[in-house]
A and B are shown apart, each in its own frame.
Chain A
Amino acid sequence: MIAFAGGSILQAAVALAVAAVLARAWNLRNPDQRLPYHLLILAVPLVVHPALFLLAPFRRSPWFQDRLGLLTLASWDRLQIGGLPLPRILVPLAAATGLFLFLRDLVSAVATRLPVAEQGALMEAGAAEKVAAAAAAVACDMRLPKPDLLLLDDAEPQILCRGMRRPRLVVSRGAVERLSPEELRAALAHELAHQEQGDLRTGWLLLALRALLFFNPVAQGIGRQALQDFEHRADDRAAEVTGDPLVVASALVHLARAEASHFPASSSSRGDFLHIEARGRRLLEHGVGSRVSLPGPRLVVTAVSVALLSFFIV
């Protein structure tokens, strides 16, 4: 058990390091192109490690570990604290961290992505018509069908896409009041981009895969990075639709500030705010991430490098 979990964590960490160095060397900034790398890293503990564990048991032989192993738990077994080999202490600690990260994101996903029932007061008719018209116009620009809207008379500022089978755009009065018409358009474009790219469904799938790797903190971190890619992709798409990254950044920051002032004591909203500021900076500093050439061969070469290294990590 310790050997399996430890190998999974080590292989994921090495895959992360290799992919991160190559992505940096190749100046890979476009979230569309970064996402496959994050999925590739996730595939290492999910597919490569169990496959090697089952199909190549000779890798666990002393001869392989001592002669060919690049990084082996057996070497670290020799270091002991209180009579316990170091991996027997570190691997459970790492697994507990992984479980904590998974549960934290699971709770957050359930709270923010489940479909909402039609409850509470609805937005006043005049304002609702304006939002519906803006959403229809943005959807038209993005060549999407008219979105299914739920417009709430709620002071809490929120614009988000919820529901997996029947995605719905939820917009609250609080959000409409705090955003300029251009910013509202950018925020709607961002949420519709999630809908367009099927991010809600993929997000749940990602969470299911993370559940299988609940003990692996590296995989949990990579799962979060993939969600970041979704957000960056939607930011880029909104900037493309509105033609102005500044408006998208401004909408993001205004909404985040409004949310932070609505829940001043929440540490998670402070964290989210920092994260959204970083997204705003990315849009302003780099604009929509440029694409590198030959993305397929780059990914294949990275996958081969990662798989080869994984073979020698036991």
Chain B
Amino acid sequence: MQSASGRELGRIVAAAILVAGGTAAVLRAVDTLPGLLLGEPRGIVRHASVEAAEKALGTKVLLPAYFPDSLRWPPSSVRSGRVPAPGLGVQFTGRDGGRERLFVFETLPAGSEFPTSLVPEASAYHAVPVQVGDAAGVFRSVRMASEGNFSEIEFRKDGRKILIRYAGTGDELMKIAGSLR
């Protein structure tokens, strides 16, 4: 008798686990719908413009004052993320259209990590220390799986961590980095 009710209790708990687990999976799937519709991973928000991003984040976005003629203004995308720390990514295509040629990633002041999924994966095959104004930084040559070879420079400015990735010459990248306002 006791084992029969024990078995029944087991079935009750199993049914609840199954239903709760199934519900959790469905909810998580439903929650990814906005991301799927927008083509952005979970936690990444696309903004209509730099001004809209500044309004949403409540801070000014640093952008290069030196802007090579080969790049097209306005940015092709302005995206922000919040985890592990808030940050922003601004991308530019070339004048001829097509693929992205300049990426500017920045954390908010005092931020130390870029938001997950905001910075595309890249493997570095060469790195040297450099000086960007008063700040020490690292210059790297990287290969992005989808976009090809880029040069990038990582440094801190106004308390923010900055990463600029550029498909162009190293000299131009240094000028872009030095002109960040």
A residues with a Cβ closer than 8 A to B are: 14, 17-18, 21-22, 25-26, 62-63, 65-67, 69-72, 75-79, 86, 293-294, 297-298, 301-302, 304-305, 308-309, 312-313
Known: A26-B15, A79-B37, A293-B8. A66 touches B27 (CB 8 A): no
Known: A66-B42, A78-B34, A79-B38. A312 touches B24 (CB 8 A): yes
Which residues does chain A contribute within 8 Å of B17, judged by CB atoms? 305
User: Given known contacts A78-B46, A313-B27, what 20 new A-B pairs fall within 8 Å (CB)?
Assistant: A14-B23, A17-B23, A22-B15, A22-B16, A26-B15, A62-B82, A63-B84, A65-B43, A67-B83, A69-B31, A70-B24, A71-B27, A75-B32, A75-B34, A75-B42, A86-B34, A293-B8, A305-B19, A309-B20, A309-B24
In angstroms, how far is the closest chain B Cβ from the Cβ of A83?
Answer: 9
Closest to B22 in A: A21
Which residues does chain B contribute within 8 Å of A301, judged by CB atoms? 12-13, 16
Residue pair B46, A22 in contact (C-beta under 8 Å): no
Which residues does chain A contribute within 8 Å of B32, judged by CB atoms? 75
The one of B19, B40, B82 that contacts A25, using a Cβ cutoff of 8 Å: B19
B contact face: mostly helix, strand, loop, or mixed: helix
Which residues does chain B contribute within 8 Å of A66, judged by CB atoms? 42-43, 82-83, 116
A contact face: mostly helix, strand, loop, or mixed: helix
Q: Is B45 an interface position by the 8 A CB rule?
A: yes
A141 to B8, CA, bound (A): 37
Known: A14-B27, A66-B42, A70-B28. A78 touches B35 (CB 8 A): yes
The one of A62, A297, A312, A313 that contacts B12, using a Cβ cutoff of 8 Å: A297
A63 to B38, CA, bound (A): 21
Residue pair B38, A78 in contact (C-beta under 8 Å): yes
Q: List 5 A-B contacts (CB under 8 A).
A: A62-B82, A63-B84, A294-B8, A304-B16, A305-B17
Q: Is B144 an interface position by the 8 A CB rule?
A: no
Size of the chain B interface, CB-CB below 8 angstroms? 31
A293 to B17, CA, bound (A): 19
Which residues does chain B contribute within 8 Å of A70, judged by CB atoms? 24, 27-28, 31
CB-CB contacts of B130-153 with A at 8 A, as 1s and 0s? Answer: 000000000000000000000000
Closest to A301 in B: B16
A38 to B139, CA, bound (A): 63
Closest to B38 in A: A78
The one of B19, B37, B40 that contacts A22, using a Cβ cutoff of 8 Å: B19
Which residues does chain B contribute within 8 Å of A77, judged by CB atoms? 45
Residue pair A305, B5 in contact (C-beta under 8 Å): no
A308 to B20, CA, bound (A): 9
Q: Is B127 an interface position by the 8 A CB rule?
A: no
Residue pair A18, B86 in contact (C-beta under 8 Å): no
Q: Which of B48-91 contact A (CB under 8 A)?
A: 82-84, 86
Which residues does chain B contribute within 8 Å of A294, judged by CB atoms? 5, 8-9, 12
The one of A18, A26, A63, A67 that contacts B23, using a Cβ cutoff of 8 Å: A18
Closest to A76 in B: B34
- What are the 3 closest A-B residue pairs judged by CB atoms, nearest first? A62-B82, A66-B43, A305-B20
Closest to B19 in A: A21
Residue pair A78, B30 in contact (C-beta under 8 Å): no
A69 to B27, CA, bound (A): 9
Which residues does chain A contribute within 8 Å of B40, judged by CB atoms? 78
